[in-house]
């Protein structure tokens, strides 16, 4: 007798529509090659195929011009996906009081985020007082190369 509700549930589920999103198959263009060619020619755009909510935590968006290199985000990142980098490496000429001229490497601290190591926890954007990191809405991030250009935000 106890199995009756289970059978009823199985029968009910078997005639219901799937509740899962059919992505990505339903969104696939007929020809991937033609689609990418259109993207290259500016005739098509790769966008998230479904709307994301405002609080969605997707690929990090980093604004280097707003960042002051304080390093707070590095400290809170649980996966060590962020490293501090010197930017931009430039050589400046320095003249001391005796007139000696030397060349020094002048840099400012900035960060580099390895998206493949990010778990999208949002800690970095929460702690950044400059608004230099934010959670974006991009989520099509599968790749074979974790160090590809689009996998690194800097």
Q: How many CB atoms lie within 10 A of CB 58?
A: 18
Alpha-carbon distance of 110 to 154, in angstroms, equals 8
Q: Which of the 8 DSSP states describes residue 116?
A: G
Q: State in angstroms the smallest separation of the CB of 43 from ligand SF4.
A: 33
Specify the residue, 28 or 66, whose C-beta has the smaller distance to ligand SF4.
66
Nearer to ligand SF4, 48 or 122 (CB): 122
Give the interface with ligand SF4 as residue ranges (CB under 6 A): 60, 67-73, 76-79, 81-82, 111, 113, 118-124, 127-128, 130, 132-133
Find the shortest distance in angstroms from Cβ 109 to ligand SF4: 7
Query: Which secondary-structure segment (H or E) carries 91?
Result: strand 82-95
Residues 46, 37: Cα–Cα separation, whole Å: 12
| Cβ closest to ligand SF4, residue 49 vs residue 78 | 78
């Amino acid at each position: 007798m106890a199995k009756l509700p289970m059978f009823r549930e199985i029968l009910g589920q078997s005639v219901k529509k799937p509740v899962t999103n059919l992505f990505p198959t339903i969104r696939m263009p007929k020809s991937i090659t033609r689609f990418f060619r259109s993207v290259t020619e500016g005739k098509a755009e790769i966008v998230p195929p479904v709307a994301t909510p405002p609080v969605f935590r997707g690929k990090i968006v980093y604004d280097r011009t707003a960042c002051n290199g304080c390093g707070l985000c590095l400290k809170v990142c649980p996966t060590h996906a962020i490293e501090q980098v010197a930017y931009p490496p430039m050589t400046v000429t320095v003249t001391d009081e005796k007139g000696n001229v030397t060349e020094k490497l002048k840099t400012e601290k900035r960060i580099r985020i390895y998206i493949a190591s990010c778990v999208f926890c949002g800690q970095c954007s929460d702690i950044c007082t400059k608004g230099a990191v934010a959670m974006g809405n991009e989520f099509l991030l599968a790749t074979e190369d974790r160090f590809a250009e689009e996998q690194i935000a800097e």
